[in-house]
Each structure stands twice: as structure tokens, then as C-alpha cells.
Amino acid sequence: MSGLNGKVALVTGGTGGIGSAICVKLAQAGCKVVSTYVDEAQANDWKAKMTAAGYDFGLVKCDVGSFDDCKAMGEKVNAEYGGVDILVNNAGITKDGTFRKMSGDQWNAVLTVNLDSVFNVTKQFIDGMLGKSWGRVINISSINGQKGQFGQTNYSAAKAGMHGFTMALAQETAKKGITVNSISPGYIGTEMVMAIAEEVRNQIIAQIPVGRLGKPEEIAALVGFLASEDGAFITGANIAANGGQHMC
């Protein structure tokens, strides 16, 4: 992974399962990594664990679903770190339920946190990237944005929307040294997936040709590649990492 030494990376929801692996990967490549968080106690535990493992991550509190929160977070990060070179829009939630049972609150929460957030956060850093004529925006979408998922009209819509955003912004910024890409993980062995009822989860695993859940590190490796100089010709792409569960 060339060209990452000294770059500043912001990972939204970096204290979670996939987010943690992304933070570690980018730090190992020489980036200064900052993560957003919402839960103070969980973030402090994470920070202590990461510090013990030898990582010096920045933490900034931010509800990515709130534009005002993101604006304040952006001002703080830009002032403290001199801008963000690599933005990983990773924060996401699920509130699963079949459409007939889904409430407006379930719909709004997932669309706000998973999709509005991409606007709210990217808005704070794109001018800085344009000013430096270099930048990477990496949006963590999902297999379920590509194929849809029973019980996830909200999540599937938000994740498909993320990739629409990716393609449009990629076109607007390609000439300015910025790449914008989506990664669509399949089912990865994180708390989010372990929260699915065991019987349902086992049915899902049975549909994965490689026969197992993915590992967070397998997603982080892709982030590292896209962020590096080696990934400079890839923009507007949606890269799947799903063990063969969905091929397109």
C-alpha cells in the first residue's frame, strides 16, 4: 500500500467491528487515524484496548445523522489535523423488519444514519481534498444494497443509495485527484451479523459459497488498497467482498 504515510484518515464508526479493522489497517500503512463515535463508554474502552495494542487513534464524538453535529466535528478535525485525506463512511445501523411491520421510525433511523450521513460527513471534507488535489472517499455499502434482503427494505435502500452517491461524486471529482468508491461487504463476523437470530444466520451462511462469514480484516484490506496510490485508477466502483454470495 504505497503513498499513505502521513495521510490523515477519518473513519466514521471506527470503533465498531469492520471500522476497527479499517482503523488498524490504515494506521499500519502510516496514516494518522481518527474515528467518530456516539457511545462515550464504548469509545473509551475501544481507545484503551487500541492504545494497549500500540495504536494512537484520535476520537471525535459525532452523530453522523445530524448535519449540525457533522459540521462541528468537521471544524474540529480540520483545525486539529489540517484536513482529512481519506474519508471512510463506515458508520451504519440495522433496524430489520418485514416491510409490513416496519415503522416510520425504523425507516427514518436507517436512512438517516446510513445514507444522510454520507452527505453530512463528506460535505465537511471535500473542499479540503479539492484544495490539495488529492483525496479518497470510501463508502462502506453492503451486499444487501446490491441484491436486496428480506427484512431490510430500509437498509437495502440506504446502501443502494450510497453507491448512487459514490458514482455521482466520483464523476464530479475525478479530474481533481479524488477517487470515490463503494465497498459492498457480504456477511462479516461482527456484532451486527451475530445479532441476527441463529437459525436465520445459519440459513444465510449456507448461501455463501466459500462456506463462512467474512472477516473484518478482509474488508479493511480493500480499504487500504483503494486508499493507496495503487488504487488511483479505480473510481466510481462498487467492489464486492461477499464470499461469492452475490455475483454481478
Please count the CA atoms within 13 angstroms of the CA of 154 that sit on its side-chain side. 25
Question: Does 144 sit near ligand CAA (CB under 6 A)?
Answer: yes
Nearest partner of 110 among 142, 88, 137, 86, judged by Cα:
142
Q: How many residues form the binding site for ligand CAA (CB under 6 A)?
A: 21
Q: Alpha-carbon distance 211 to 231, whole Å?
A: 29
Of 89, 96, 129, 235, the residue at the interface with ligand CAA (CB under 6 A) is 96
Of 3, 148, 151, 177, the residue at the interface with ligand CAA (CB under 6 A) is 151
Binding segment toward ligand CAA, per CB under 6 A, in 37-45, 62-70, 76-84, 94-102: 94-102
The amino acid occupying position 61 is K
Closer residue to ligand CAA, CB minimum distance, 12 or 124: 12
Residues 58-77 within binding reach of ligand CAA (CB under 6 A) = none
**Alpha helix (H) ranges present in 85-238?**
104-111, 117-132, 143-147, 153-173, 191-194, 198-205, 216-227
Closer residue to ligand CAA, CB minimum distance, 108 or 149: 149
- Helices 67-81, 117-132: axis angle to 10 degrees equals 30
Q: Alpha-carbon distance 222 to 200, whole Å?
A: 28
Q: Alpha-carbon distance 146 to 141, whole Å?
A: 9
Closer residue to ligand CAA, CB minimum distance, 185 or 224: 185
Of 38, 81, 97, 130, the residue at the interface with ligand CAA (CB under 6 A) is 97
Of 31, 62, 157, 193, the residue at the interface with ligand CAA (CB under 6 A) is 193
Closer residue to ligand CAA, CB minimum distance, 58 or 214: 214
Closer residue to ligand CAA, CB minimum distance, 129 or 143: 143
Binding segment toward ligand CAA, per CB under 6 A, in 4-12, 55-63, 145-153, 171-179: 145-153
Q: How does DSSP assign 68-129, residue by residue? A: HHHHHHHHHHHHHHS--SEEEE-------B-GGG--HHHHHHHHIIIIIHHHHHHHHHHHHH
Question: Does 192 sit near ligand CAA (CB under 6 A)?
Answer: yes
Active site residue 155: yes
C-beta of 78: minimal distance to ligand CAA in Å?
30
56 SS3 class: coil
Question: Does 150 sit near ligand CAA (CB under 6 A)?
Answer: yes
Q: Which chain residues interact with ligand CAA by CB under 6 A?
A: 94, 96-98, 101, 142-144, 149-152, 155, 185, 187, 192-193, 196-197, 200, 204
Active site amino acids? 155
